[in-house]
Amino acid sequence: MLKKRDDTGPIYLTGAGIERLKRELVTLEKEHPEAAEDVYRLAQLGDFSENAEYQEAKYRLRRMNDRMESIKERLKRVVEIAEGSTDGRVQIGSTVKMKVNGKEKIYQIVGPAEVNPARGRISYLSPLGAALLDHAAGDEVPIQTEGGEVKYLIWQVT
């Protein structure tokens, strides 16, 4: 069974994430009049059921409208993540340097919308991100994996 997304709570984003959303909204708002004009122009050709260009233009405009509405709603609920740690403990926005199995790992704790494990960005809701919250440098955090328990030694929180 799929877990339903919470579409009513806060959305945690970094300042850069907020700016990306705002830039996307501006771009969509600039492109919107042209997309609407395409729908109008193609509608003038008649017979909507046989007019593939009209159907595609209408679909594009609908997607654009939906995306703009989605961005506006997200921006209403956004909570900016202050990057860094204010008290030396892991929190949303912290960058955590750790050792695990003899290797150094660096992760920034972010909201689910900005996750990118390949770039070291993990969600505070992920098993590792959730386990790291509220720990400090020197703490050893055990994480249960399919292969057994893995211990993460935190050596720096910024």
- pTM for the model stands at 0.75
pLDDT digits (tens, 9 = 90+) for 69-119: 999 999 999 999 988 877 899 999 999 999 999 999 999 999 999 999 999
Q: What is the pLDDT of residue 44?
A: 87
pLDDT digits (tens, 9 = 90+) for 40-75: 998 888 777 778 899 999 999 999 999 999 999 999
Q: Which residues 6+ apart lie within 8 Å of 91 measured at CB?
A: 85, 109, 133, 134
Please give the domain boundaries of the chain with CATH numbers for all domains: 11-80 (1.10.287.180), 83-157 (3.10.50.30)
pLDDT tier at 5, thresholds 50, 70, 90? low
On whether the CB atoms of residues 90 and 157 are closer than 8 A, the answer is yes
On whether the CB atoms of residues 156 and 146 are closer than 8 A, the answer is no
